[in-house]
């Protein structure tokens, strides 16, 4: 085989790309990471709500890089609309490290039951539930590896759905906790629930050459300026580059993967920062662009053996897209009804609540119906983002609020009570109306067809979401909270996306084999959340990290150690 520019080319630098780059570089192989966005450092991140959340500084301009979203209409049809027009945004951090720069870092593992949903609970009409081709035990060593490599803090306590663990506790103690945590513990105990500390990919104090948490209150959606948050960038890619065997090329938009007459990938073509088309080749290619964009790239990458898109002989690329099902709610603890010291403690901004419930991870409640997979309930602060919160106060049932009434409403909102939110996560059931295709007309600034995303949901999501949210509301009421509300929604959360290239043992019903290698392309792996056939009942990041480390070990095995004269050779940068 002819010499290649690199041993491995990784496309994308988030949770799916970082573990692969670090593992392969450590093993002595040359690695190239192509990232569409810029390479920002800790010093580039500020607790700036305008930059983060009003002007989307860390996401693409939707006028230049739109997507097209299809939503169901009242008559059962589908209406397509460009995200440039709607403002909906499925981009979640276009920079080195991807969305992991902006995660809240809730790191719940999937449980053994998540790998056997169909076997355990049976089929659900209208859904495409399947068992995973691997078991929890196959992934557990990699969950453990993530704890150490990324830096996960927490405290393992007994509860009904505690997962099997190879280590009895987390490598770092919990982050500093808010006074609300104690109230939640007491309320849960009275209700017979088991509140547990929420594992977080956040260092409570300096470690591993990174800073500890600054406890500013601005975490989810914001970049971390101390390096405490375990993003792919600070936890993995920085160390991969330090080996001298990993090159990261930011501002590199991959347009397609080129395959030959045998179906094997021979090159990646990408646009550089100047808009010039470049080409690079490698022995192995790893796609880790985020579920929607990974499917889009494969569908664009047609070739002699792949007329419908790379690795798409089964027609499954883009199918069975997953978001996160669930519900939410909130309550208020009025300061006037508390003692002075307690009110002061509950009004503190910075420490995390760090409490979760997994008592209903499996629902065995006659009031619900037949036994079913449940989910996770997290208790969190209302974000301190003042602009977003104030904006929501400008309207009431009568319409626009302004002048002195608005001032008084803002004063009440920001100073009257401590707020507690519940976020309930359950499975988003894979179904035939949730998928990615290429839009036939809309193109991005590089002239490439954009992703067209249909966001159909299964009603079972709502049933479970309402149930979990109501259990969280019970806790809020037991705490003494007022104005408790809860709900479930079928709208997909834009920051939790997986599926689209599910793995499985049968090539006609999946895109990837159990090692996340494409059934049809021996030098193609997909290591982001696309591989997931079901999403579990918690944010996906820990599972994506863990599986990417597992995939990296498979790539090391495939490359072997017989190319010693090539190992470590890094081409000069462009």
Half-sphere exposure of 34 (CA within 13 A, CB side): 29
State the Cα torsion 97-288-200-132 to the nearest 10°: 180
If pLDDT is split at 50, 70 and 90, which confidence band does 561 have?
Answer: low
Phi and psi at residue 183, in whole multiples of 5°?
A: -65, -40
pLDDT > 90: what percent of the chain? 82
Q: In whole angstroms, what is the distance from residue 413 CA to residue 468 CA?
A: 27
Residue 567: is its pLDDT beyond 50?
no
Task: List the alpha helices (DSSP H) in 308-385.
Answer: 340-346
Query: Per-residue pLDDT for 68 more than 90?
Result: yes
CA gap 118, 517 in Å, rounded: 24
- pLDDT for 51 beyond 80: no
Confidence of residue 2 (pLDDT cuts 50, 70, 90): low
Among all chains, which residue has been given the structure tokens 């991140």?
45
Residue 403 has a CB neighbour count (10 Å cut-off) of 7
Please state, in angstroms and rounded to a whole number, the distance separating the CA atoms of residues 66 and 60: 8
At residue 4 the predicted structure's pLDDT band, cuts being 50, 70 and 90, is confident
Q: Is this prediction's pTM over 0.85?
A: yes
pLDDT at 509 over 60: yes
What mean pLDDT do residues 49-68 have?
82
Is residue 153's pLDDT more than 60? Answer: yes
| Encoded tokens for 197 | 């500390």
Find the range with the poorest average confidence among 288-292, 305-309, 412-416, 535-539.
412-416
Q: Which of these ranges, 140-144, 238-242, 398-402, has the smallest mean pLDDT?
A: 398-402
Give whole-number Cα distances, 467 to 122, 361, 479, in Å: 20, 11, 19
Altogether, the residues listed in the chain come to a count of 574
pLDDT at 27 over 70: yes
Confidence of residue 390 (pLDDT cuts 50, 70, 90): confident
Query: Which residue matches tokens 């053994």?
Result: 112
Closest by CA to 485, choosing from 499, 466, 462, 502, is 466
Contact by Cβ (8 Å): 11, 287 = yes
Phi then psi for residue 135, to 5 deg, are -115, 170
User: Rounded distance, CA 317 to CA 298, Å?
Assistant: 7
pLDDT at 333 over 80: yes
pLDDT for 449-506, tens place per residue? Answer: 999 999 999 999 999 999 999 999 999 999 999 999 999 999 998 889 999 999 999 9
How many CA atoms lie within 13 Å of 189's alpha carbon, on the beta-carbon side?
6
User: Rounded to an integer, what distance in angstroms lies between the CA atom of residue 563 and that of residue 46?
Assistant: 44
Q: β-strands 68-72, 78-82: how paired?
A: antiparallel
Q: In this structure, is the dihedral angle defined by the CA atoms of residues 85, 90, 95 and 99, taken in order, positive or negative? A: positive
Q: Is 370 helix (H, G, I), strand (E, B) or coil?
A: coil
CA distance 128 to 509: 11
**pLDDT one-digit tens code per residue, 337-376:** 998 899 999 988 889 999 999 999 999 999 999 999 999 9
* Res 571 pLDDT > 60: no
The whole-number pLDDT of residue 307 equals: 97
Assess whether pLDDT exceeds 60 at residue 1. Answer: no
End-to-end CA distance of the chain: 24
Q: Which two tokens stand for residue 220?
A: 């989810």
* Residue 217 pLDDT exceeds 90: no
pLDDT tens across 88-99, in order? 888 888 999 999
Q: In degrees, to the nearest 5, what angle opens at C-alpha 146 toward C-alphas 144 and 149?
A: 115
**CA–CA dist 513, 502 (Å, integer):** 9
What does pLDDT average to over the chain?
93
Judge residue 85's burial from the number of C-beta atoms within 10 Å of its C-beta, 0-12 exposed, 13-18 middle, 19 or more buried: exposed
For residue 86, give the H/E element and its range: helix 83-86
Percent of the chain whose predicted confidence (pLDDT) is above 70: 97
């Amino acid at each position: 085989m002819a010499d290649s520019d690199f041993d491995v080319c990784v496309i994308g630098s988030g949770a799916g790309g970082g573990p692969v780059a670090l593992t392969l570089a450590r093993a002595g192989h040359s690695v190239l990471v192509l990232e569409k966005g810029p390479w920002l450092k800790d010093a580039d991140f500020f607790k700036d709500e305008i930059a983060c959340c009003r002007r989307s500084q860390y996401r693409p301009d939707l006028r230049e890089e739109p997507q097209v979203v299809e939503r169901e209409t009242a008559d059962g049809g589908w209406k397509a609309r460009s995200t440039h027009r709607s403002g909906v945004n499925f981009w979640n951090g276009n920079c080195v490290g991807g969305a992991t720069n902006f995660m809240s870092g809730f790191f719940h593992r999937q449980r053994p039951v998540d790998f056997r949903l169909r076997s355990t609970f049976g089929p659900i009409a209208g859904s495409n539930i399947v068992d995973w081709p691997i078991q929890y035990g196959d992934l557990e060593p990699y969950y453990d590896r993530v704890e150490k490599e990324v830096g996960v803090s927490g405290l393992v306590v007994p509860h009904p759905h505690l997962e099997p663990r190879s280590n009895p506790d987390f490598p770092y103690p919990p982050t500093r906790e808010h006074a609300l945590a104690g109230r939640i513990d007491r309320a849960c105990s009275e209700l017979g629930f088991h509140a547990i500390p929420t594992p977080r990919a956040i260092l409570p104090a300096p470690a591993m050459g990174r800073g500890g948490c600054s406890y500013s209150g601005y975490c989810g959606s914001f970049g971390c300026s101390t390096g405490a948050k375990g993003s792919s960038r600070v936890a993995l890619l920085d160390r991969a580059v330090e080996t001298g065997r990993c090159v990261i090329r930011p501002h590199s938009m991959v347009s397609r993967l080129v395959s030959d007459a045998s179906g094997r990938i021979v090159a990646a073509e990408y646009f550089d920062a100047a808009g010039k088309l470049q080409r690079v080749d490698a022995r192995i290619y790893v796609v880790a662009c985020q579920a929607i964009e990974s499917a889009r790239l494969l569908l664009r990458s047609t070739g002699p053996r792949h007329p419908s898109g790379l690795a798409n002989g089964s027609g499954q690329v883009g199918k069975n897209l997953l978001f996160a099902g669930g519900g939410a709610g909130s309550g208020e603890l009025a300061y006037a009804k508390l003692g002075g010291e307690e009110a002061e403690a509950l009004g503190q901004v910075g420490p995390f609540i760090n409490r979760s419930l997994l008592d209903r991870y499996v629902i065995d409640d006659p009031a619900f119906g037949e036994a079913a997979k449940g989910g996770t309930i997290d208790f969190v602060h209302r974000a301190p983002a003042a602009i977003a919160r104030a904006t929501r106060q400008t309207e009431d049932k009568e319409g626009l609020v302004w002048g002195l009434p608005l001032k008084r409403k803002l004063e009440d909102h920001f100073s009257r009570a401590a707020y507690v939110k519940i976020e309930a996560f359950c499975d988003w059931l894979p179904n035939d109306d949730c998928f990615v295709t290429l839009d036939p007309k809309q193109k991005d600034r590089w002239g490439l067809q954009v992703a067209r995303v249909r966001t159909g949901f299964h009603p079972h999501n709502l049933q479970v979401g309402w149930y979990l949210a109501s259990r969280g509301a019970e806790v809020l009421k037991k705490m003494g909270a007022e104005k408790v509300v809860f709900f479930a929604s079928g709208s997909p959360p834009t920051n939790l996306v997986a599926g689209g290239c599910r793995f499985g043992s049968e090539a006609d019903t999946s895109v990837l084999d159990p090692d996340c290698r494409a059934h049809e392309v021996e030098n193609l792996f997909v290591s982001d959340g696309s591989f997931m056939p079901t999403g579990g009942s918690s944010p996906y990041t820990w599972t994506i990290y863990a599986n990417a480390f597992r995939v990296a070990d498979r790539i090391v095995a495939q490359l072997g150690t017989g190319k010693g004269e090539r190992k470590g050779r890094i081409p000069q940068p462009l």
